[in-house]
Amino acid sequence: MRGITAACRATLMKPRITLANVDKLQAAVDAAARLHRIGLLLFIAACVLVTWPRAQMPVWLPQAGMAATLLAFACKALATRREIRLAGLLGRIMAMPYRRGASSQGSDHSAWSAVRSYVIVSVVLTLAVALCPSMLASLGETALANLTVMLSAAALAIQSFDNPRRLHSRIMQICFSRLDLQAGEDGTLVA
């Protein structure tokens, strides 16, 4: 008797997408974006600190550069971890049936592909945050080091400011066709 009741509950409580769930997903994107922006500022501070002229450098400045590098890496790693969790939740949403017209199925898959590529780029840029300041410190002010840091800073700025806006629209693309406007708080998919 208990097994039948549990099975009935499982079929009645299928995960649903509500506007509250979409808001939670978008709040997760906003939290990751804030961490990415803090990581960007710390990355720039680390690059400035490691390129300071050594003759005029106080004793504590190299340690401050290393601390800024580690903090930037930690912020970027936390933000990337949140984006990976978000991608996992969106993967579960992609497996859910359509509640609205299935004409947007192709755009769902392209949105899902874009989210995956954002996460991969986020992982690569997190590694760049960890490696660029130390490369700059070891090579000095060479053209290659300056070019690498400049390109990394530009990519980090794009990731911090443009990608969250794009992720918001991708979340809406994926969730809109599965949105259940009549769903209550019981049995909703928790982000």
DSSP assignment of 92-107, as one string? HHHTSPPSS-GGGHHH
Amino acid making up residue 35: L
Residue 78 has a pLDDT of: 92
Return the closest-CA partner of residue 188 out of 23, 21, 48. Answer: 21
pLDDT tens, position by position, 54-102: 777 787 887 888 888 889 889 988 988 998 898 888 888 877 666 555 4
In degrees, to the nearest 5, what angle opens at C-alpha 91 toward C-alphas 89 and 96? 95
> Which value, to the nearest 10 degrees, does the dihedral of the CA atoms of residues 40, 44, 50, 53 take?
-170
Sequence-ordered list of residues with C-beta below 8 angstroms from that of 36, at least 6 positions apart, any chain = 75, 76, 79, 122, 156, 159, 160, 163, 164
Lowest mean pLDDT among 3-12, 14-23, 92-101, 109-118: 3-12
pLDDT tens, position by position, 121-130: 888 888 877 7
Burial of 52 (0-12, 13-18, 19+ CB in 10 A): middle
d(CA 62, CA 64) in angstroms, rounded, equals 5
- 90, 113 contact by CB (below 8 A): no
- 37, 160 contact by CB (below 8 A): yes
Most confident of 5-9, 86-90, 110-114: 86-90
What the block records as the tokens of 129 is 């945050």
Prediction pTM value:
0.73
